[in-house]
Amino acid sequence: MTNGNGSSPSRAKVITSQVYACLALNFLLVGLGMSINFVTMVLPAVMDAPKGLSITMEQASWFGSIAFLCQPLGSIFSGPLMDYFGRKKSLFLVNIPHVIAWLLIYYAWDVPSLFIGNALLGIGTGIMEAPAITYVGEVSEPSVRGFLTTLTNGFTSTGMFMAYLLGSVLPWRYAALAALSIPVITMVLVLFVPETPVWLLSKGRQKEALRSLCRLRGWAKPEEVKEEFDQLVTYNDIIQQCVICAKEGKSDIRPCEHDRTNLLRKSVMKFKHVFLVKETLRPFILVMAYFFFHAMSGFLPIRPNMVNLCGALGMKYDSKAIVRKLILGALFATSCCTLGLSIYAGTNLPLSVFSYEVNTFPEAKSFTPVLLFMLLVCFNSLGIPWVVLSRGVATGLAAALSYVIFFLSSKTNYNLEASMHLSGTFALYSAFGLVGTIYLYFFMPETESKSLEEIEAFYKGGRKIFADDFLINSFRKKLGTSNERANLY
């Protein structure tokens, strides 16, 4: 458990142990990224196809968004699944829908079977979200949590890139078969990762929790992680208390009278006293606001039809061929990219161009939309806000509602473009991105180097939440000085 000379594990070894623990999770997120973008590769091949499977433009609109509609079904069960089976077993079980989905897509014999396969990809993605983000939050130290969370986002992006790559070099059926290898590899890797200390403590398995923490901190000795372990024990004791008894100032010894109530009443009380509280609602509202602005900033609604859209914009090349600061920068840059695409479409494309009708695409090609589209994809930042939430129920509910937003944004893209042209559609997305950037700038706090208990205590505080930023702090200082002067008179 220690180095050969008996000294404490080096910092590099401590970080490496946490990165290693997230290995299976990272493969899981590669599969998640592939499932998100795979429809982009299938859609141009099957829309009005001369032979084989073929779907109409209206069916294409549904096919591109149905996964988002089905993802809440997975998200609803994500939290309970993770709390009952544990984070490790959940990381294994959530791969099963994707295994079935990839096989079904490969063998798809008609339009309904193709839709069912895509729907299963959506359900599987919904189940994956909460265990994936919760796991990295519970195995990592506060000082490296932001780095590991950002790293997981990178693996999701890798999966999205692999979907594009497979779709460009293989027929979509064989690409689906190749994608099947990712969930299978993930299920094997999960067997070698530890369960999180937080979940083990919640089940009263303190010895196993201590061994897990030692492993996650570079195979350290128990005495070397005693301080952190004691903090986790204290945190677990707090979250295991009956919240109703705690608010009434009663003893927290379990079982209590509230444990003996029927399931329906217990669920209502849990929703009222656990979800409808500041420390849960504040980050929940913040995350949902981010997801809304993210979804409407431009990239997500156009992603299913992106290959055709690249052709509609007249791109020159073949269409197939640290936490808070990342959010603000990515959302603002995304908004600027969609504004650029709006201006380009308004000045260079006739109103007859419609990305869902190939025969309206312009013959003249340009490099400008290639650059803007590449930047739009690079600045896309889905996944970052999940680090704000740590409660299983809230995370699952946030995922469910976010996918409803994603479905609506993706489904309405067809209607927006039909009524507002590409220039108007991208201008609207840009406006959402700019408003979202301003909102998050003022209300998203920095959580880097903060423990889970500190983050929860922060949201539980009575004061209004504003970001800790030099510009905002300067404004506060000036405002405070003005108030002091006013009080003198």
Three-state secondary structure readout of 72-99: HHHHHHHHHHHHHHCHHHHHHHCCHHHH
166/295 same-domain check:
no
Domain presence at residue 424: yes
Residue with tokens 């423990």: 451
Q: What pLDDT, on the 0 to 100 scale, is given for residue 321?
A: 47
On whether residue 184 sits in a domain, the answer given is yes
Q: How many CB atoms lie within 10 A of CB 237?
A: 11
Per-residue pLDDT 10s for the chain (489 aa) are 444 445 677 888 888 888 888 888 888 888 888 887 788 778 878 887 888 788 887 788 788 778 877 877 887 787 788 888 888 898 899 899 999 999 999 998 888 889 999 889 988 888 887 777 788 888 888 777 767 776 776 787 778 778 877 877 888 899 999 999 999 999 999 898 889 898 898 888 889 999 988 988 888 888 888 888 888 888 887 777 666 666 666 655 556 666 666 666 766 776 776 677 777 777 777 777 877 776 776 666 666 666 676 677 776 655 544 445 545 666 677 778 888 888 888 888 888 888 767 788 888 888 888 777 766 665 554 444 544 444 444 555 666 677 677 778 777 887 888 888 888 888 888 888 788 878 777 776 665 556 656 666 666 665 554 555 666 666 666 655 544 444 433
> What is the number of structural domains in the chain?
2
Q: What pLDDT, on the 0 to 100 scale, is given for residue 246?
A: 64
Q: State the Cα–Cα distance between residues 44 and 30, nearest whole angstrom.
A: 23
Question: 282 with 459: CB under 8 angstroms?
Answer: yes
Pair (28, 138) in one structural domain: yes
CA dist., res. 403 & res. 386, Å (int)? 13
- CATH assignment of the domain containing 471: 1.20.1250
Taking the alpha carbons at both ends of the chain, their separation in whole angstroms is 67
What's the CATH code of the domain at 60?
Answer: 1.20.1250.20
Asked, for residue 108, whether it belongs to a domain, the answer is yes
Q: Which of 163, 192, 221 is the last residue of a domain?
A: 192
Beta strand segments in 54-213, E: none
Flag whether 140 is in a domain. Answer: yes
Residue 258: inside a domain: no
Residue 146 lies in a domain: yes
- The residue type found at 43 is L
Do 335 and 456 lie in one domain? The reply is yes
Residue pair 447/323 in contact (Cβ under 8 Å)? The answer is yes
Is there a contact between 24 and 190 (Cβ–Cβ < 8 Å)? yes
- Residue 231 CB burial class (10 angstroms; 0-12, 13-18, ≥19): middle
| 205 lies in some domain | no
What are the distances in angstroms from CA 53 to CA 43, 111, 190, 319, 440?
11, 7, 36, 21, 44
Cα-trace Rg, the chain: 24
Is 83 in the same domain as 183?
Answer: yes
Question: What is the rounded distance in angstroms from the CA atom of residue 439 to the CA atom of residue 264?
Answer: 37
Clarify whether residues 179 and 327 are in a common domain. no
Q: Which of 147, 163, 192 is the last residue of a domain?
A: 192
Q: Print the domain residue range for 325.
A: 280-489
- Of the three residues 159, 192, 225, the one that is the final residue of a domain is 192
DSSP-derived letter for residue 65 is T
Please tell me the distance from the alpha carbon of residue 310 to that of residue 165, in angstroms, as a whole number: 16
Q: Are residues 167 and 474 in contact, defined by beta-carbon separation less than 8 angstroms? A: no
* Best CA proximity match to 286, nearest among 392, 398, 382: 398
- The angle formed by the CA atoms of residues 26, 28 and 29, to the nearest 5 degrees, is 65
Confidence at residue 111, expressed as pLDDT on a 0 to 100 scale: 86
Query: Do 187 and 287 share a domain, yes or no?
Result: no
410 within a domain of the structure (yes/no):
yes
Compute φ and ψ for 366, nearest 5 degrees.
-145, 155
